Amino acid sequence: EYIQSYYFNKLELTRFSSSVGKFVGFTEQGVRNAEYWNNDASLLSAMKAQKEVYCLNHVQIDYRAALTKS
């Protein structure tokens, strides 16, 4: 799962989760940002592609590293 969170003053405003597939806001400002970002199809597709870039390419490396230490 790929998660990208946006914080301000240690308060989580907005989060993108690949399992949900969209931005979710947690504050008034975060909800407005999430609604704006969710209306941009190119941004959503780019964020969904980040799962393949970060998670799927590196899971084997992390898995092998964990096995060699156990």
Task: Judge whether residue 6 has pLDDT over 80.
Answer: yes
Q: What is the pTM of this model?
A: 0.76
Angular region, 8: left φ>0, alpha ψ -120 to 50, beta rest = beta
Q: Which domains does the chain have, with CATH numbers?
A: 3-68 (3.10.320.10)
State residue 62's pLDDT score.
Answer: 66
Per DSSP, helices labelled H in the chain are 28-38, 41-50, 57-69
Task: Judge whether residue 69 has pLDDT over 90.
Answer: no
State residue 66's pLDDT score.
Answer: 72
